[in-house]
Amino acid sequence: MRKSCIKVLKREGEPIRKALLEMDLLDNSARIISEDDHLYLPLTEELQESQLMNLPGEFELTENEFKEQKGQLKLEDLLDDIPHFEVVGDIALVEDDVPEPLKVADAIMKVKKNVKTVLAAMSPVEGEFRTRRFRTIAGETRTSTTHKEYGCRYYIDLERAYFTPRLATERSRILTQIQDGQTVVDMFAGVGPYSIMIAKKSPNIRVIAIDKNPNAVEFLRHNVKLNSATNVEAIEGDANIEAQKFASVADHVIMNLPHNANEFLDAAVKLCAPNAIIHYYDITHEDDLFESSLKLIEEAAERAGRTTELIEARIVRSYAPHQFNVCIEVKVI
């Protein structure tokens, strides 16, 4: 089978293989090719620029003809229908209404050897702190784990703070926009996946990370240490109030509180140094993906006597039927 792959010198192959594995980008159904001085690592999907930038060392993106990896157990071998699930650290999360939950959990644990616990979500993401409730289907009864993403590690208790691995690519895309020496305010930082990844890019980047959930901030502080980041100021508090202490400091303001970010736009504009960029996340209907949200940002800037320039508006992922998680990036002049 012909596949996209990464061609890398054998002696430089291991860090990149590990990075691809962590990002779920290494296709385990195909056998890695070893030829002369090079390895060819098969990919599960076409890599985006932001993903490529996060891979270590020198390599080439190419294609090759791969043989099937025999003996590799696949979910298709064990289940007729593969339900949607995601893996955070060593925990697999399935929906509560998954048919035959024990069979599904058993199959996931057989195929994904690193999974030690399978949880079913008993609630949607809910409340001010955007948490969920879970029940254990199989494995160890716990909701805490350590998740690896783009070379950073995050300790999380999934019932006490928000985290999703589905934004990994989005986070890495934001990372490419942050320059050395800049200041970033992450208004809804959670356990720190934006803040810490950005802080690790350079010690000369100042990151101010705010969250109202005391548990999230506890994990955030732990994760700052876990990743040896020296440039994150972790603040527990309401973003509207805390932002007042940092007027005009930010070159980038990250507003990852879809549904409610509009309530914080005046504070976000206040944070903005001249020409700062607001990265505004929202959940919108397909009939009005960007327009209404953009208007809210423009109106907030106007109230502060500032003007705006749209940098980019894009869909991050689908959220529900006809609804999308979008990101609107606006320069505040």
Q: Residues interacting with ligand SAM, by CB under 6 A?
A: 128-130, 162-163, 167, 188-190, 193-194, 210-213, 216, 238-239, 256-257
Query: Closest separation between CB of residue 259 and ligand SAM, Å?
Result: 9
Query: Closest separation between CB of residue 190 and ligand SAM, Å?
Result: 3
Rounded Cα–Cα distance for residues 169 and 206 (Å): 22
Could you tell me the CA-to-CA distances from 256 to 73, 192, 210, 301 in Å, in that order?
37, 11, 11, 18
Choice between 16 and 158, CB closer to ligand SAM: 158
Cα 271 off chain centre by: 23
Residue 9: beta bridge partners? 38
Query: Closest separation between CB of residue 132 and ligand SAM, Å?
Result: 11
Answer for the pair 153, 176: CB distance below 8 angstroms, yes or no.
Answer: no
- Which residue number has the CB closest to ligand SAM? 190
Choice between 39 and 167, CB closer to ligand SAM: 167
Query: Closest separation between CB of residue 331 and ligand SAM, Å?
Result: 21
Choice between 129 and 319, CB closer to ligand SAM: 129
Answer for the pair 284, 256: CB distance below 8 angstroms, yes or no.
Answer: no
Choice between 238 and 266, CB closer to ligand SAM: 238
Query: Closest separation between CB of residue 155 and ligand SAM, Å?
Result: 13
Rounded Cα–Cα distance for residues 279 and 293 (Å): 12
Choice between 185 and 294, CB closer to ligand SAM: 185
Rounded Cα–Cα distance for residues 232 and 150 (Å): 18
Rounded Cα–Cα distance for residues 22 and 28 (Å): 12
Query: Closest separation between CB of residue 231 and ligand SAM, Å?
Result: 17
Q: Which residues of 64-85 are buried (b: 16+ CB within 10 A; e: fewer)?
A: bebeeeeeeeebeeebeeebeb
Choice between 83 and 237, CB closer to ligand SAM: 237
